[in-house]
Amino acid sequence: MANTTFTGPVRSENGFEDITKNATTGAVTTNATYGATITGGVQSLSGAGAIDLTNLVTELTTAAGAAAVTLADGTTSGQVKIIYMVVDGGGTATVTPTTFASGTTLAFDAVAEAATLVWNSTIGWVLTADRNVTIA
């Protein structure tokens, strides 16, 4: 199936799926579903590393030590990123966005701590909601 670009409104009675197809195996992966609910992909990040910009959600897992985590600038204004801790191995995951309008870092040190950010191309990542995350 070819790619299609639409210039006007697009409607569907049964929702839409954003997919990728593996060029080698042909396997189809659903990245996001748009219908009565919006479902985005999930990145599982264990320890230090980079939060990806392709998945809506990033789940953090820490070990005993500190974990330095980075978040690059978004790709388009309005992009949403949800980050939360799912496993607390005793350490703190400190997220440092490249451009953060609401501070410098976000620190996660307990299960269920969460932050929702929205990218603005002028001022950077804006914290729109958090649950017990330490903002510095």
The lowest-confidence range among 39-48, 93-102, 103-112, 120-129 is: 39-48
What average pLDDT does the segment 80-99 reach? Answer: 97
94 within domain boundaries? yes
DSSP for 83-99?
A: EEEEE--S--EEEEESS
Name the pTM for this structure. Answer: 0.79
> What is the C-alpha to C-alpha distance for residues 135 and 112, in angstroms, rounded to an integer?
16
Categorize the per-residue pLDDT at 95 as very low, low, confident or very high, splitting at 50, 70 and 90: very high
108 within domain boundaries? yes
75 within domain boundaries? yes
- Tokens encoding 94: 């400190």
> What is the C-alpha to C-alpha distance for residues 15 and 91, in angstroms, rounded to an integer?
41
78 within domain boundaries? yes
Dihedral (C-alpha) 57, 63, 66, 69: value to the nearest 10 degrees? -20
CATH number for the domain spanning 95: value is 2.60.120
Q: What is the pLDDT of residue 7?
A: 77
Residue 107 scores a pLDDT above 90? yes
Q: How many domains in the chain?
A: 1
Dihedral (C-alpha) 114, 74, 21, 44: value to the nearest 10 degrees? -30
61 within domain boundaries? yes
Q: What is the pLDDT of residue 1?
A: 53
130 within domain boundaries? yes
Q: Which residues pair with 120 in a beta bridge?
A: 124
Cα 5 from chain centre? 25
pLDDT in tens, 34-82: 776 777 899 999 999 999 999 999 999 999 999 999 999 999 999 999 9
Residue 89 scores a pLDDT above 90? yes
Q: Which residues pair with 82 in a beta bridge?
A: 57, 116
Q: What is the pLDDT of residue 108?
A: 98
82 by Cβ neighbours in 10 Å (0-12 / 13-18 / 19+) ranks as middle
pLDDT in tens, 1-43: 567 777 777 777 777 777 888 889 988 888 777 776 777 899 9
Q: State which residues form the domain around 121.
A: 40-135
2 within domain boundaries? no
